[in-house]
Amino acid sequence: MTESGPRAPRLRLTRADLAALPSYVPGRNPADLARELGLPEAVKLASNEVPYGPLPGVVEAVATAAATAHRYPDMGVLALRAALAERFDVDPERIATGCGSVALAEHLVRTTCLPGDEVVYSWRSFEAYPIMTITNGATSVQVPNTPGHGHDLTAMAEAITDRTRLALVCNPNNPTGTSVRREELDRFLAAVPEDVLVVLDEAYREFVTDPEVPDGLAGYGDRPNVVVLRTLSKAWGLAGLRIGFLVGHPDVAAAIRKVVTPFSTSAVAQAAALAALQQEDEVRRRCALVVAERDRVLEAVRKLVPDVPESQANFVWLPLGERAVEFGRACEARGVIVRPFAGDGVRVTIGTPAENDAFLAAAEAAL
Ligand code: PMP
């Protein structure tokens, strides 16, 4: 085609199969909603963040790191990997970091699957799983949740075929808050072939209070075919800086470090994470506040929606089925942003006591 000539028929520039892919839905911006409703502020309980601000020392560490923003970060993430290794009592060679644990989950698909290989996971679970599976040319095998909204690990083990490369166990599960217990995970791991990598996605581990819900790192971290995914976005308060890590077999961690987007753990994120790791007592204190509020919200919301499952995370799940979207809209009209999943349920993050009260009042009015 010449510059002045007719346009060529429209070419397909991106993959046709992506049209059918659901998009990741971020929580709505509370400032926009407040403006729309003419309120001084809106409450955002849609993204599973912890509401208490950055941990002490983090803002200062970020400011210091920002002074060298014209330089690339340490690509090996050496200081942070050493600190994580010490904190979690593992060899630094077994650690890889990434731009949020969601990036690491995607890299795990990329490092294990060739086109047509299968990724087994429970559904409904973390909405990034189908996206990262399809975009890497792999095939999703979704095993329906139990009637109690949790993983059906027996069915997941049965769903493993010769094509399965990866099995994702989200514990606690986003968005339902349910968790897998030690005994069932033991049985599952015993049933999974050695050449299938099992990812224990523990983004919400710090909020777990049930002693029967295993800590994947402590309990299974040294199994060659187990990878534990953790994030600094939730309990550690760094969602906006994008940093997560995984612990796995040294070969797996090395493969991930090979495929990771170069320099994607930014210098600011590395510095912030190092500062946050110094604040473990404060993290525990904040998690205890979240857990106390979770139990209070669960009790209150069950008076409105009796079948809300137990949660070990920093959110609760309202299985409202076809009423989910309408409920989400009704909460928004009252200045509270929650996260509806059409036709299924609504996930509500635990916020401050005042935010949770605002949600409970909105829920009562909506229902
Ligand atoms: N895994 C699960 C189960 C999650 O819910 C999330 C965040 N929504 C992530 C991983 C990713 O978190 P991040 O990328 O912020 O580390």
Q: Tell me: pLDDT of 4 over 70.
A: no
Q: In sequence order, which residues have a C-beta less than 8 Å from that of residue 10 and are 6 or more positions away?
A: none
Distances 226 to 117, 169, 215, 218, 232 between C-alpha atoms, Å: 18, 10, 13, 12, 20
Mean pLDDT over 37-47 rounds to: 95
Total Cβ atoms within 10 A of residue 203: 26
How close is the Cα of 233 to the center of ligand 1, in Å?
8
The two tokens of residue 190 are 């015993």
- Whether the pLDDT of residue 2 is over 60: the answer is no
Does residue 167 carry a pLDDT above 50? yes
Closest to 262 measured CA to CA, from 69, 124, 97, 68? 97
Ligand 1: which of 131, 233, 315 to mutate, most ligand atoms within 8 Å of CB? 233
Average pLDDT over residues 43-51: 97
Spacing, Cα 130 to ligand 1 middle (Å): 14
323: Cα within 13 Å, side-chain hemisphere? 10
Domains of the chain, earliest start first: 25-53+281-366 (3.90.1150.10), 58-276 (3.40.640.10)
Q: How far apart are CA 164 and CA 38, in angstroms?
A: 51
pTM for this one? 0.95
User: Which residues are CB-neighbours of 168 under 8 A, at least 6 positions away?
Assistant: 105, 119, 120, 121, 122, 125, 126, 129, 199, 201
Tell which phi-psi region holds residue 2, choosing left (phi > 0), alpha (psi between -120 and 50) or beta: beta
The whole-number pLDDT of residue 11 equals 79
Q: Kindly state the average pLDDT of the residues 262-267.
A: 96
In this predicted structure, the answer to whether residue 25 has a pLDDT above a threshold of 80 is: no
Query: Does 305 have pLDDT greater than 60?
Result: yes
**Distance from the alpha carbon of residue 230 to the mean position of ligand 1, in angstroms:** 8
Q: 3-state SS of 80-128? A: HHHHHHHHHCCCHHHEEEECCHHHHHHHHHHHHCCCCCEEEEEECCCCH
Three-class secondary structure of residue 75 per DSSP: coil
Q: Give the three-state DSSP class for 352.
A: coil
Q: What distance in angstroms lies between residue 270's CA and the mean position of ligand 1's atoms?
A: 18
Lowest mean per-residue pLDDT among 16-20, 93-97, 278-282: 16-20
Cα Rg of the chain (Å, integer): 21
Tokens linked to 158: 């049965």
SS3 content of the chain, % helix, strand, coil (to 5): 40, 15, 45
Which among 140, 101, 133 has a CA at the least distance from the CA of 248?
101
Q: How confident is the model at residue 367 (pLDDT cuts 50, 70, 90)?
A: very high
- Kindly give the distance from the C-alpha atom of residue 189 to the centroid of ligand 1, in angstroms, as a whole number: 23
Atom 9 in ligand 1: residue holding the nearest Cα: 102
Task: Please list every protein residue whose CB sits less than 6 Å from any atom of ligand 1.
Answer: 48, 100-102, 126, 170, 174, 201, 203, 231, 233, 239, 244
* Substitution candidate for ligand 1 out of 49, 106, 231 with most atoms within 8 A of CB: 231
Using 50, 70 and 90 to split pLDDT, how confident is the model at 344? very high
In percent, how much of the chain has pLDDT > 90?
92
> What pLDDT is attached to residue 144?
98
| Lookup: tokens for 276 | 């946050």
Q: Which pLDDT does position 1 carry in this prediction?
A: 43
Q: Residue 317 carries which DSSP code?
A: E
Find the 333 Cα to ligand 1 centroid distance in Å: 27
Contact call for residues 243 and 233 (beta carbons, < 8 A):
yes
> Which is it for strands 244-247 and 95-98: parallel, antiparallel or unpaired?
antiparallel
Tell me the pLDDT of the chain averaged across its residues.
95
Measured from the CA of 231, which atom of ligand 1 is nearest? Answer: 16
Give me the pLDDT at residue 24, please.
77
Give the Cβ contact number of residue 323 at 10 Å. 18
